[in-house]
Amino acid sequence: MLNLKNRLAVLVVSCDNYSDLWKPFFSLFWLFWSDCPFDVYLLSNNTNPAIPQVKSLLVGDDISWSNSLQKGLSLLKEDYVLLFLDDLFLLEPVKTKEVLEVFSWAVESDINYVRMNPMRNKPDESLDESIGILSKGAIYRTSTVVSVWKKTYCWICSKMVKAHGILRFMAPSDQISMIGFTPVGKTILL
C-alpha cells in the first residue's frame, strides 16, 4: 500500500458564520477517528479556530462557497482531499484500514473522485464487492458528502459552480464528468 500521509488532506469546509459547529464536529471527529493518519484542516473565513490537531485555512471574507473552496484548495500541498462539510458529524468509528485501502486504490488508479458513503442507487458497473461506477446522468453521481477528490479535479468542479451555482455541483452533469467517478458501495465513513 502506498504511503498516503503526504498525499491526502482532510478538509472540513466551513465559514465563520457556522463556527458554533466546530467544537461538536471536531469532538466527534476525534472521538470516532482518533487514529486519523492525515493532516486535518478547517477552512474558514477570518476566524482562527485554535482547535488542537486541526490546521486553519483562512480564506478571507465569504464571497461564495465555491470561491472559498477554491482558495482553500490552493493553500493545500496535498494532491487529494477528503472533503467533509461542517454539519456532517461522525457517529460511528471510522474503519481506518479500509479508508487507507480505498485511498491507495484511488491514487494508484489515478481516480478523480470517490464517494465514501454508500448510495441508494446501485452502481451501473461493479469493480469489486465494495466499489462501483455510476453512469453519466445518475442522480447524485457527484456529491460533496464525505468524498475523496483529486485536488485539481475538485478545483475544476468548484470553478464550474461559479457559473452554475451550488446545486449544479451536486446535480448530475455530463459537463463535469470525467473518468474516475467511483462511489464506494459500503459504509466506511458515514
- Please state the domain count of the chain: 1
Confidence (pLDDT) at 5: 78
Confidence (pLDDT) at 125: 74
Residue 48 lies in a domain: yes
Concatenating the DSSP letter of every residue in 75-130 gives: H--SSEEEEEETT----S---HHHHHHHHHHHHHTT-SEEE-S--SSPPSEESSSS
Flag whether pLDDT at 181 surpasses 50. Answer: no
Residue 187 lies in a domain: no
Flag whether pLDDT at 154 surpasses 70. Answer: no
pLDDT one-digit tens code per residue, 61-80:
988 887 888 899 899 999 99
Confidence (pLDDT) at 172: 38
Confidence (pLDDT) at 65: 81
Which domain covers residue 41, as residue numbers? Answer: 8-170
Confidence (pLDDT) at 184: 45
Flag whether pLDDT at 162 surpasses 60. Answer: no
Residue partners of 165: CB distance under 8 A and separation at least 6:
none
Residue 152 lies in a domain: yes
Which of 44, 112, 53 is CA-nearest to residue 80?
Answer: 112
Residue 180 lies in a domain: no
Residue written as grid cell 491526502: 8
**Which residue did the predictor score with more confidence, 112 or 179?**
112
CATH number of the domain where residue 149 is located: 3.90.550.10
pTM over 0.95: no
pLDDT one-digit tens code per residue, 46-58:
999 889 999 999 9
User: What are the start-end ranges of the H helices in the chain?
Assistant: 22-32, 65-75, 96-108, 151-164, 166-170
Residue 38 lies in a domain: yes
Percent with pLDDT over 70 in the chain: 68
Report the C-alpha gap between 72 and 145 in whole angstroms.
17
Q: Name residue 27's amino acid.
A: S
Flag whether pLDDT at 174 surpasses 60. Answer: no
β-pairing, 55-58 with 80-85? unpaired
Residue 1 lies in a domain: no
Report the C-alpha gap between 15 and 121 in whole angstroms.
32
Confidence (pLDDT) at 56: 96
Residue 88 lies in a domain: yes
Mean pLDDT (the chain, rounded): 78
